[in-house]
Structure 1
Amino acid sequence: MKREQILARIIIRVRLEMASNEEREILGEWLDEKAANRRLYKDIIRGKCIARRLRLEDEINQTTDFQKVYEEVSRRLSVHGSRRMPLRRIVVGAAIASCFVGILTIFHPLVKVEVHRTMSLQGDLKEITVEKEKVMLVLGNGERIGLVKHVPDSLKLAQATLIGAKGSLLYEINTDSVPAQEEFHKIMTAVGGDFFVVLSDGTRVWLNSTSELVYPVQFIGDRRVVQLKGEAYFEVKHDSSRPFIVQVRDVETKVLGTAFNISAYEDEESVYTTLLTGKVQVSLRDQKSDIPSMVLKPGMQSCWKKGTGEFSVRKVDTKNVVAWRYGEFVFDEDDIEVVTRMLSRWYDVRFVHDGGMKGRHTFSGKMSKDEKLTSILKMLTLAGGPEFKFENGVVHIIEKR
């Protein structure tokens, strides 16, 4: 068997975490031979030469053609001009699992993430346990209620009755009287927490980790206004007489009835509004601004870059934008800084660079939030990224020599 054929099989087995120590050693020897081999390997596992042959997890079935994937990788290696493999006895299994998917990491079946999770970090990474209240409700009087450990089955307030269940909260309006003014509640999600709430008007909101939503217990007047920090997905209850408005810093999104996602984390440089269905109008809250408002159509995403006052719009894959709702990370040529910030919000760790960055690292792919941090970091390294070392709650990013 030609060297490129053997390497092609090993690369795929490594991606499936099925490779033996001997196979990994062979791949390592080839990578150490010269920089051109390492560049080719990085291009193979991150480029379209594999990805275009594979379908997303929800479309994977027993007909997935491993042979085409293998032939494509082998062809790339052959074009590269690899020498023949030194004579060594290795056994490479011919039967490869048909569920091989993804370009950055292994796709896992969608599993709802438990709020209390233990992460085993192996090797240089030690085991840490994250067990704390991840979702908090703040009432109008300042009282705090944990919505994970102490979620109320039913809590009757002056303006509404709160109906609680695992991971969700529902507001039922008390129709006895109309309040003179709005009383505001706030839901805060911590690192690794997410939550679902049905507001009193029937609007459904999914909050991502490290996010805050401030909203009236009962909407009064001709507008329904909420305030958001972080990220949330909205399915707004239609009411033509009362537009629904989401305020995020200097940006305001106005709708009547639609589904959309807003990402507005404090540590990100832009605010993104993505429309799935219906129609939304995005504008700056500063009434004196001469920046015109923008109307989005389904499948479009607006971007407001903080500090510039400029809006841009592009077409996006909305399934990727809202993948977090289904317990998944999705990266699309994202810088390592973006990737590590996203991981920090879920795994409660801080990333720091040791010695600066050598070049630009970008990643594309999809992974489950139920995956251990250890595995994710290993896959980032395998995808051509730097190495990682855990120490006292901090993950050090170390460039390869």
Structure 2
Amino acid sequence: MGTNKGNNEQHILDVIERSRRNEASAQDLQELDQWYDSFQGSPLYTDGMSVNEEEEAMQMLLNRIHEVIEPELKPILRYRPWYARKWVVAVAASMLLISGMAVLFYLRTDQTDFSNSISSASNILPGTNSATLTLANGKKIKLSESANGDLAKEAGVLIVKTADGKLVYQAQNSAAETGQVNTISTAIGETYQVRFSDGTAVWLNAASTLKFPAKFSKLSARIVELNGEAYFEVSKDKAHPFIVKSRDQQVKVLGTHFNINSYADEQNIATTLLEGAVQVSLSNPMKINTSLKSVLLKPGQQSLLSGTSLSIAQVQADDVIAWKNGNFMFNNESMEIVMRKLSRWYNIEVKYADPSVKQIKFFGTVSRFSNVAKVLEMIALTNEVKFEVKGKEITVLRN
């Protein structure tokens, strides 16, 4: 029986590969259509996305497939709308058949009876676009409760909330005093975007805080401090380097796009470069016992700073910033990391009946705007874990 199953799996992959190379016979194409149609009634998690969001989600999954299937079957997969959904379902399904991997993209709801416990989590809604701005004088402004338009004026800079829910600093008086520091902070389940007076744009993830000068002019360097996670698109200014301080490191740039994850409950500080170049250095080289005190990142690279080491790895940078684009992207991540991401966004408390489930690995993508019940149902489809939900307390159990 095991041999027949293996032969069937290989046959499926052979058909997919011949189709990719435009070498498929009429029988191959008919078989692929029939196989795809067997999944047709199952809703995809792209169903609620816009066209652009669906293309991005599809491409991210295709990238994951490209990395994990057998080397001889590694095509350069591109998102092609006229048959990409067929490819995604077909290849993802074949990966499930072959390796049992948790490819969390589609639901076979006709074959799964979800417990009432998960269904009770449907009232736990996703996070929202909100944050709190603290001015230099200590005044706090809850941005989601503030009307659009002018909010305040500090250091010759007008602070504006735009109609699309962003915070914008507009320089008006270059001669005004400098040194006034503002703070924007997101609670659990909040995210926000801010554009500084120099044009730099920052996306702040949930449970994060960013301190920055209200105005950068007259300063030799543009220095900000981050706790949590943020994505930066820094305006170029060779005369005034942009420096991000976070926990035990600082990142120095002239103009570039990068992401920093420095949550206190994560083991590593991860700095990921998408465009340009950044230098990652230890804030206190004497504190951490490592020979590597500074690294220069290239696009697609990520530095990891732990308590004892600083290292570089090649990553899929677009996956890292999926949160900025409204998606969760799980790239061979442990259940513990997955649930931490969910807890920050949905404001839930996570417990483990069996600590060993924390190490189960997952691949997949899902919209951050789905309610948490849909995400839990998707994870439960792997048959690795199940969930008990009591209010906002979620317990993870081995299946």
Q: Same fold (TM over 0.5)?
A: yes
- 1:13 and 2:39 aligned: yes
Report what 2:280 is aligned to: 282
Q: Which runs of 5+ in 2 are unaligned?
A: 9-33, 45-64, 108-115
Report what 2:81 is aligned to: 61
- 1:190 and 2:210 aligned: no
202, 221, 224: which one aligns with 2:199: 202
What is the rounded CA distance, in whole Å, between the counterparts of 1:215 and 1:72 in structure 2?
44
Q: Is the 8 A contact 1:234 1:261 kept in 2?
A: yes
1:144-197 C-alpha deviation (Å, 9 max, x unpaired): 111112144113424110121232111112326231x40111111122221111
**SS of match in other structure, 1:257:** coil
TM-score under structure 1 length normalisation: 0.72
1:21-40 C-alpha deviation (Å, 9 max, x unpaired): xxxxxxxxxxxxxxxxxxxx
1:209 Cα offset (Å): 1.3
Q: Is the 8 A contact 2:151 2:160 kept in 1?
A: yes
1:293-349 C-alpha deviation (Å, 9 max, x unpaired): 1111111111101x21x1110111111111111101111110000000001111111
Report the CA distance shift for 1:70/1:329 in structure 2 as closer, same or farther (over 3 A). closer
What is the rounded CA distance, in whole Å, between the counterparts of 2:339 and 2:154 in structure 1?
43
Report the CA distance shift for 1:367/1:15 in structure 2 as closer, same or farther (over 3 A). farther
What is the rounded CA distance, in whole Å, between the counterparts of 1:317 and 1:390 in structure 2?
33
1:106 Cα offset (Å): 3.7
Report what 2:52 is aligned to: none
Q: How does 1:239-318 map to 2 (within 5 A)?
A: 239-286=237-284, 288=286, 291-305=292-306, 307-308=307-308, 310-318=309-317
What is the rounded CA distance, in whole Å, between the counterparts of 1:375 and 1:388 in structure 2?
12
What is the rounded CA distance, in whole Å, between the counterparts of 2:92 and 2:316 in structure 1?
26
Name the amino acid aligned to 1:163: V
Report what 1:218 is aligned to: 215
- 1:105 and 2:92 aligned: no
Q: Is the 8 A contact 1:279 1:297 kept in 2?
A: yes
Name the amino acid aligned to 2:282: L
Q: Is the 8 A contact 2:244 2:250 kept in 1?
A: yes
What is the rounded CA distance, in whole Å, between the counterparts of 2:271 and 2:142 in structure 1?
29
**SS of match in other structure, 1:123:** helix
1:262 Cα offset (Å): 0.7
The worse-fitting range, judged by mean Cα deviation, of 9-18 and 344-353 is: 9-18
Name the amino acid aligned to 2:79: E
Report the CA distance shift for 1:75/1:276 in structure 2 as closer, same or farther (over 3 A). closer
Report what 2:24 is aligned to: none
Alignment length, in residue pairs? 332
1:125 Cα offset (Å): 3.4
Q: Percent identity?
A: 32
Q: Is the 8 A contact 1:158 1:174 kept in 2?
A: no
What is the rounded CA distance, in whole Å, between the counterparts of 2:88 and 2:166 in structure 1?
45
What is the rounded CA distance, in whole Å, between the counterparts of 2:375 and 2:388 in structure 1?
13
Report what 2:322 is aligned to: 323
1:10 Cα offset (Å): 10
Name the amino acid aligned to 2:381: L
Q: Which runs of 5+ in 1 are unaligned?
A: 19-43, 81-101, 108-119
What is the rounded CA distance, in whole Å, between the counterparts of 1:67 and 1:296 in structure 2?
34
Report what 2:31 is aligned to: none
- 1:353 and 2:352 aligned: yes
Report what 2:133 is aligned to: 137
What is the rounded CA distance, in whole Å, between the counterparts of 1:68 and 1:286 in structure 2?
46
Report what 1:163 is aligned to: 160
Higher RCO (CA 8 Å, separation ≥ 6 residues): 2
1:286 Cα offset (Å): 1.3
1:375 Cα offset (Å): 1.3
- Root mean square deviation of aligned Cα: 3.8
TM-score under structure 2 length normalisation: 0.73
1:381 Cα offset (Å): 1.2
Report the CA distance shift for 1:382/1:213 in structure 2 as closer, same or farther (over 3 A). same
Q: Is the 8 A contact 2:118 2:377 kept in 1?
A: no
**SS of match in other structure, 1:376:** helix
What is the rounded CA distance, in whole Å, between the counterparts of 1:263 and 1:291 in structure 2?
20
1:74-116 C-alpha deviation (Å, 9 max, x unpaired): 8996x99xxxxxxxxxxxxxxxxxxxxx931249xxxxxxxxx
**SS of match in other structure, 2:194:** strand
Report the CA distance shift for 1:386/1:251 in structure 2 as closer, same or farther (over 3 A). same
What is the rounded CA distance, in whole Å, between the counterparts of 2:234 and 2:199 in structure 1?
8
What is the rounded CA distance, in whole Å, between the counterparts of 2:92 and 2:369 in structure 1?
31
Name the amino acid aligned to 1:198: R
Report the CA distance shift for 1:151/1:234 in structure 2 as closer, same or farther (over 3 A). farther
**SS of match in other structure, 1:325:** helix
What is the rounded CA distance, in whole Å, between the counterparts of 1:72 and 1:343 in structure 2?
23
Report the CA distance shift for 1:358/1:155 in structure 2 as closer, same or farther (over 3 A). closer
Q: Is the 8 A contact 1:263 1:271 kept in 2?
A: yes
What is the rounded CA distance, in whole Å, between the counterparts of 1:246 and 1:226 in structure 2?
5
1:184-239 C-alpha deviation (Å, 9 max, x unpaired): 11111122221111111111111111111100001242111000011111111111
Q: Is the 8 A contact 1:133 1:146 kept in 2?
A: no
Q: Is the 8 A contact 2:351 2:395 kept in 1?
A: yes
Report the CA distance shift for 1:279/1:64 in structure 2 as closer, same or farther (over 3 A). closer
